[in-house]
Amino acid sequence: MRRFFLVATRNPISLLGVALTTASAVLFLFLLGLELISGHGGNPYLGILSYVLLPGIFFVSLILIPMGVAWERRRRRQGATGDLFPILDLNNATTRRLVLTFLVLTLVNVIILSAATYKSIEVMESTAFCGTTCHTVMEPEHTAYLNSPHARVKCVECHIGPGAGWFVKSKLSGARQLVSVAFDLYDRPISVPIHHLRPARETCEQCHWPSKFVGDRLSVRTHYDQDEENTELKTVLVLRVGGIQGRKSSGIHWHVDRDIQIRYRSDASRETIYEVELTDKDGKIRVFISGDSSSEDAGETTTEPGPWRIMDCIDCHNRPAHIYRMPDSEIDRALQEGLLDRTLPYVRREGLRLMRETYPTAEAAVSGITQGLEAFYAETYPELSMTRHADITSAGHFMGELHNRNVFPTMNVTWGTYPNHLGHTDFPGCFRCHDDEHVAEDGETISQDCSTCHILLAMEEENPEILELLRP
């Protein structure tokens, strides 16, 4: 044993092994401590480093030690005599100082290395890294994300999440993405749905309690008419969001009740749903088959129904973070928030017309929309066009910005490129299944009855009575 130790300390391979084992062990302990203290436990990059990479280095270095010993023995057997290293005499003050300096420097190295690793992990998981490193490619997603309720949630929290398995998957796909950016192979627009997205139930449920009873929710939506006054119109509905109350789930969130399961088969875009299978909590199965998937659409392009997909949050909330809007809802929001001047006659109608046109670049959109608006007022309201020139110009600029939040010519992203499944007004959404066309064996369908999902109290009314009633 003693001999082994002697040989081990006298050859560079073993020494390297010893150094690496020590360093990785120290780094491991450091990260472990950090995790315990700061609660960075969920960080996937940190996890992979401390539980996959470092132990790997540790074990490989351990193997280096006996390998070095074997090498040294062979070297000796082949007649090499003498020591490879000078003998360190710790009784010598200079040597002692040297050794001490070496140890201190090593310690400093370890600390610097730890800090650097930690920092680089932080950078890699930052939103800026994901959202802006490959600027044009991620521009649509990054822009749409900044205008969403999840603007403070990091990209990795939805796209990667904790766990080594997902980390490796995401790194593999990251490597593929790097290649496709480098060689310009990526899709424009990036195609959705993402088939390998981390299961939504794992991601979303880190922050949202799925069984929380939201119940009925009053929702007031403000729209504007295309008339001269840009008249304000209100839609009032009670959305039956539901959830679990008293062990029974109801309403819209019933689809994600733990006791039931809904699976479906669709085309690759998930826009056309052919079959829906519902397993209720007694294990009873019902299958709803789309009327037009079997017989009638023989003439249409026949797309093979894909594999079964279990319905989860993303089948409704497919745009939690990358919310692209249609031009009318952008303008309505801006008018409601007072960011667009409602006193400009026909501003909504003209804005919509100009925003829907095609512009080659973001700058061209701003100047095109502004000039178009100025031209409209100059011709139709010459006087107003003089007195309120500044208001008109700034409205034009703002509409250009609204346009550029949703349209990205370099990525071929335009109005409606990315459908939103929540609702049914701009895209099929809920009506992909709730169309009264998906029929079960007993003849029942997945209902399109308006009151299944909401109570419509007013629809685009100027002064809905219901809001008067609710006013204190």
Query: CA 44, 47, 53, 57: dihedral to nearest 10 degrees?
Result: 170
Task: Tell me how far, at minimum, the Cβ of 8 lies from ligand HEC, in Å.
Answer: 49
Using CB under 6 A as the binding rule, whether residue 467 contacts ligand HEC is answered as no
By beta-carbon proximity to ligand HEC, the closer residue of 95 and 417 is 417
Q: Binding to ligand HEC (CB under 6 A): which residues in 255-294?
A: 255-256, 262, 264, 273, 276, 278, 288
By beta-carbon proximity to ligand HEC, the closer residue of 72 and 139 is 139
* Residue choice 8, 252, 369, 373 for contact with ligand HEC (CB under 6 A): 252
Q: Binding to ligand HEC (CB under 6 A): which residues in 384-443?
A: 418, 422-425, 429-430, 432-434
Task: Tell me how far, at minimum, the Cβ of 178 lies from ligand HEC, in Å.
Answer: 14
Task: Tell me how far, at minimum, the Cβ of 234 lies from ligand HEC, in Å.
Answer: 9
* Residue choice 194, 310, 386, 455 for contact with ligand HEC (CB under 6 A): 194
By beta-carbon proximity to ligand HEC, the closer residue of 331 and 395 is 331
Using CB under 6 A as the binding rule, whether residue 233 contacts ligand HEC is answered as no
Contacting range for ligand HEC; rule: CB under 6 A; set: 43-51, 309-317, 381-389, 398-406: 309-317
Task: Tell me how far, at minimum, the Cβ of 440 lies from ligand HEC, in Å.
Answer: 7
Contacting range for ligand HEC; rule: CB under 6 A; set: 5-13, 117-125, 310-318, 337-345: 310-318
Task: Tell me how far, at minimum, the Cβ of 434 lies from ligand HEC, in Å.
Answer: 4
* Residue choice 454, 457, 458, 464 for contact with ligand HEC (CB under 6 A): 454
Task: Tell me how far, at minimum, the Cβ of 31 lies from ligand HEC, in Å.
Answer: 22
Instruction: Map residues 145-184 to x or -, x wherever contact with ligand HEC holds by CB under 6 A.
Output: x---xx--x-x-xxx-------------------------
By beta-carbon proximity to ligand HEC, the closer residue of 48 and 453 is 453
Task: Tell me how far, at minimum, the Cβ of 68 lies from ligand HEC, in Å.
Answer: 46
Using CB under 6 A as the binding rule, whether residue 131 contacts ligand HEC is answered as yes
SS (H, E, C) the chain: CHHHHHHHCCCHHHHHHHHHHHHHHHHHHHHHHHHHHHCHHHCHHHHHHHHHHHHHHHHHHHHHHHHHHHHHHHHHHCCCCCCCCCCCCCCCHHHHHHHHHHHHHHHHHHHHHHHHHHHHHHHHCCHHHHHHCCHHHHHHHHHHHHCCCCCCCCHHHHHCCCCHHHHHHHHHHHHHHHHHHHCCCCCCCCCCCCCCCCCHHHHHCCCCCCCCCCEEEEEEEEEECCCCCCCEEEEEEEEEEEEEECCEEECHHHHHCCCCEEEEEECCCCCCEEEEEEECCCCCEEEEEEHHHHCHHHCCCCCCCCCCEECCHHHCCCCCCCCCCCHHHHHHHHHHCCCCCCCCCCHHHHHHHHHCCCCCCHHHHHHHHHHHHHHHHHHHCHHHHHHCHHHHHHHHHHHHHHHHHHCEHHHCECCCCCCCCCCCCCCCHHHHCCCCCEECCCCCECCCCHHHHEEEEEEEECCCHHHHHHCC
Task: Tell me how far, at minimum, the Cβ of 416 lies from ligand HEC, in Å.
Answer: 13
Using CB under 6 A as the binding rule, whether residue 315 contacts ligand HEC is answered as yes
Q: Binding to ligand HEC (CB under 6 A): which residues in 195-224?
A: 197, 200-201, 203-208, 210, 214, 217, 219, 221
Using CB under 6 A as the binding rule, whether residue 326 contacts ligand HEC is answered as no
* Greatest extent of the chain over all pairs of C-alpha atoms, in Å: 105
Task: Tell me how far, at minimum, the Cβ of 426 lies from ligand HEC, in Å.
Answer: 9
Count of residues near ligand HEC by CB under 6 A: 81
What's the rounded Cα separation, in Å, for the pair 229 and 208?
A: 42
By beta-carbon proximity to ligand HEC, the closer residue of 23 and 200 is 200
| 397 to 161, 329, 366, 369: CA distances (angstroms) | 39, 17, 6, 7
CB 276 within 8 A of CB 287: yes
Q: Binding to ligand HEC (CB under 6 A): which residues in 24-63?
A: none
Contacting range for ligand HEC; rule: CB under 6 A; set: 3-11, 116-124, 317-325, 341-349: 317-325
Q: Which two tokens stand for residue 456?
A: 């419509």
Task: Tell me how far, at minimum, the Cβ of 359 lies from ligand HEC, in Å.
Answer: 21
